[in-house]
Amino acid sequence: MSFISEDFEKLVDALSKLPGVGRKSAGRLAFYLINAPREQTMELSNAIKTACNNIKHCSICNMMTSSEVCDICSSENRNKKVIMVVENDRDLMAYEKVGEYRGLYHVLGGAISPLLGIGPNELNIKQLMKRLTEDIDEVILATNSTIEGETTATYLAKLIKPLNIKITRLASGVPVGGDIENIDEITLLRAYKGRVEI
């Protein structure tokens, strides 16, 4: 029998499931949370609860939002004829930070990875294809240049080709194996401006 409280163990278990947090750091975090001022811990706990309850996915582009349709999809100032396909919200935010792109996005929710058992059906591709039946000028495939990202881009290009929509892929500048969210803004801007038709 453990001499440590079962509730404490449960907290450590939950924390150790966070990305990049091992069992040891989970224990450290749990000790910190329990011994921190009550208001601070409660503020964190409430923020998690509120975020989980309120944040949903945009019914058009699948990005995180607190409303039915996100601010980008409902904006009058965006070019609704260009869609940039990204793997996740973090990549979308990286592009928004650059500030150059004025089209819409489509968040796939990951990339094809046979190793992790993620196939096309696990990604938000059906909704993308539905959007492409509207009047669209260009689809920018902005998945990462990892094997999974490239596989996904190739898969999507094949799927979209028969629709006769211009398909572009980010130019070199995004290093091979590089995650978009970790790339600096100038490199991202260069990759976007130098995108090539495929």
Among 11, 15, 26, 70, binds Zn ion (CB under 5 A): 70
| Residue 73 binding Zn ion, by CB under 5 A | yes
Residue (69 or 147) nearer to Zn ion, CB: 69
Whole-number minimum distance, CB 135 to Zn ion, in Å? 17
Cα distance between residue 107 and residue 127, in whole Å: 10
Contact between 89 and 107 under an 8 Å Cβ cutoff? The reply is yes
Only one of the segments 10-18, 23-31, 36-44, 68-76 lies at the binding site for Zn ion (rule: CB under 5 A); that segment is 68-76
Among 12, 26, 30, 58, binds Zn ion (CB under 5 A): 58
| Residue 86 binding Zn ion, by CB under 5 A | no
Contact between 105 and 86 under an 8 Å Cβ cutoff? The reply is yes
Decide: helix, strand or coil at residue 125: helix
| Residue 128 binding Zn ion, by CB under 5 A | no
What's the gap between Cα 107 and its chain centre? 6
Nearest in space to 104 (alpha carbons), one of 67, 131, 126, 123: 131
Total of chain residues touching Zn ion, rule CB under 5 A = 5
Residue (73 or 136) nearer to Zn ion, CB: 73
| Residue 92 binding Zn ion, by CB under 5 A | no
| Residue 61 binding Zn ion, by CB under 5 A | yes
Only one of the segments 3-11, 65-73, 118-126, 138-146 lies at the binding site for Zn ion (rule: CB under 5 A); that segment is 65-73
Contact between 71 and 77 under an 8 Å Cβ cutoff? The reply is no
Q: Locate all alpha helices (DSSP H) within 55-184, ordered by sequence.
A: 71-74, 89-98, 125-131, 147-160
Task: Note the residues at the interface with Zn ion (CB under 5 A).
Answer: 58, 60-61, 70, 73
